[in-house]
Amino acid sequence: MRETVLITGATSDIGKEIALKLSHTSNLILLGRYQEQLEQLKAHCANSSSHFVFQFDFNDIQTYRNTFADFLLANEIQVNKLVHCAGMMKVMHMKSVDLKNTHQIFNINVFSIIETLAILLNKRLNGNALNNVVFISAILSKFGSTGHHLYSSTKGALDALMRSLAVELAPNVRVNSVLPGAVETKMSKHLLSDPILLEKLNQQYLLGIGKPVDIANMVNFLLSDESSWITGQEFVVDGGRTINIKNS
C-alpha cells in the first residue's frame, strides 16, 4: 500500500522538488500558502489524482490545529511521513528586529511543525501511522552570519527539536534533519543575483551552488528503508561549503 507523505511548504522550490520525486511512490498532502500554486503542483505530480492539497498560512497558527485535524478527519487520511520544508528567511540588523518579525518567522519555521507533530502523534487522529520525519534546516543552524540571527535561531530550534523527538519517538518514528547550504531557489534569488556575492559563493562552494534536487535526493534517502538504522542526525548537504577552510 502506498504511504501518505505530508509536505509543508510544498510550493517552495525544495518542497516542490521533493513532491515531484515522491509522487511516483507515495500519496501526498501538499501543504502551502497559495491554493493556485498548490493545485498547479498537484497537476504536475505523478499519479495526480491520488494527492491532496491543504491551503494554510502559518501566520494564522492559532487556528491551524483544529483546521488541519478537521481536514484529516474529513478526508479519512492518516499521515505516515512528514517533510517540513515551510520556511522563510529574514535578514536585518539585530537592532531592527521587532516582535512581529520574530513571531512571523517562528510561526512559519518552527511553531508550524510543532503544531503539526502534535496532530500527527494524536492516536485518535492519526493512530500509529507516523513513522518518519525530516526537517529542512540550514547550515546557518551551525554557523553564524551577519543579519541572519532570527533565521539561524529558528533552524537551531528545529535541529534541537529533531534530536529530542528522535529519542522520544524511537523505535517507531525516525527523525532527522537536512542542512542545505546555498541552493538556487526563490528564497535565495536576490542573493544569487549579486555578481560579487556569486563570485564569492563560487569559491566557497567546492561543488558549486546547490539545486533543489540535491536536497530532494537526501530527503528521499532519509524517508526510505535504505536509512533504516539512522535517527536523530543532522545531514549537511552543502557542496563542501562548510569544510572549506580556505574560503570561509
Partner 1 sequence: MEQFKERLIDIFEVEEINDTDVIKQFEAWDSLTLLSIIATIDSEFGFQISASDFDKIETIADLLQFIENNKK
Task: Find the farthest-apart pair of alpha carbons in the chain and give their distance in angstroms, rounded.
Answer: 55
Nearer to partner 1, 100 or 246 (CB): 100
Using an 8 Å Cβ cutoff, are 84 and 111 in contact? no
Among 43, 92, 170, 198, binds partner 1 (CB under 8 A): 92
Binding part of the chain for partner 1, among 16-24, 64-72, 86-94, 156-164 by CB under 8 A, reads 86-94
Q: How far apart are CA 139 and CA 161, in angstroms?
A: 16
- The residues, any chain, with a CB within 8 Å of residue 195's CB and separated by 6 or more, are none
Beta bridge partners of 53: 30
Q: Kindly report the CA angle at 224 between 221 and 228, in degrees rounded to 5?
A: 100
From the CB of 146, what's the least distance to partner 1, in Å?
Answer: 6
Nearer to partner 1, 96 or 248 (CB): 96
Task: Show the site string, 103-122: x = touches partner 1 by CB under 8 A, - = not.
Answer: -x------------------
Among 67, 190, 198, 240, binds partner 1 (CB under 8 A): 190
Q: Is the dihedral of CA 117, 122, 124, 127 positive or negative?
A: positive
Nearer to partner 1, 100 or 123 (CB): 100
Binding to partner 1 by residue 146, rule CB under 8 A? Answer: yes
Nearer to partner 1, 95 or 123 (CB): 95
Q: How far apart are CA 232 and CA 245, in angstroms?
A: 27
Binding to partner 1 by residue 153, rule CB under 8 A? Answer: no
Q: Is the dihedral of CA 16, 11, 183, 79 positive or negative?
A: negative
Among 16, 42, 51, 90, binds partner 1 (CB under 8 A): 90
Binding part of the chain for partner 1, among 16-24, 26-34, 36-44, 94-102 by CB under 8 A, reads 94-102
Q: Is 151 an active-site residue?
A: yes
Beta bridge partners of 134: 83, 176
Q: How far apart are CA 83 and CA 79, in angstroms?
A: 11
Residues that bind partner 1 (CB under 8 A): 90-93, 95-96, 98, 100-101, 104, 146-147, 190
Catalytic positions are 151
